[in-house]
Amino acid sequence: MTTVGIIFLVKQRMQMYNSPYQRVTDCVRTVWRNEGVGAFYRSYTTQLTMNIPFQAIHFMTYEFLQEHLNPHRQYNPGSHVVSGACAGAVAAAATTPLDVCKTLLNTQESLALSSNISGHITGMANAFRTVYQVGGVTAYFRGVQARVIYQMPSTAIAWSVYEFFKYILTKRQEERRAGK
């Protein structure tokens, strides 16, 4: 069992409106007892499927923006912040449908379950069908604003820190070479 799977499932179950869980341990124990170990893996494939396109879009957007905002690729904190924030926003928005399905797999939300014959939503294809049945195309983008707002500062900071350390390390290497 992966720690990440448990963390996502527990976080989302405890954040649900009228969550029956008071403590993390209650949630883990109850899910384990009522749904089995498989509940902790239900969204694992979706998580991996979401991370690959997120990172691909994120990196491509960052590089594209750097080509336009910082074509000489010099250390420029402003361009790194803007490019990082925009890259995170684009990647978050583009992968929101996968995040919605992952959340549904983790929470097994009652409205969605009532539209599902088997009583449990398993697998990405089942989650995609259920989201569409419950809310149509717009349901895939529920929470897109919150996801974008969350990602923008996070990715702006991450890229800024990365570029700062890259600059410092590169500068030191150049100084050492010049000193030899």
Helix%, strand%, coil% for the chain, nearest 5: 80, 0, 20
For residue 142, give both structure tokens: 């529920």
Confidence band of 1 (pLDDT split at 50, 70, 90): very low
45-56: burial string, b at 16+ Cβ within 10 Å, e else: ebbebbeeebee
In this predicted structure, the answer to whether residue 90 has a pLDDT above a threshold of 80 is yes
Torsion over CA: 131, 126, 89, 70 (sign): negative
Which pLDDT value is given to residue 169? 94
**Structure pTM?**
0.74
Which pLDDT value is given to residue 104? 84
Is the separation of the CB atoms in 46 and 102 below 8 Å? yes
Tell me the pLDDT tens digit for each residue of 51-71.
899 999 999 999 999 999 999
Q: What is the mean pLDDT of residues 81-110?
A: 90
Give the three-class secondary structure for 177: helix
In this predicted structure, the answer to whether residue 118 has a pLDDT above a threshold of 60 is no
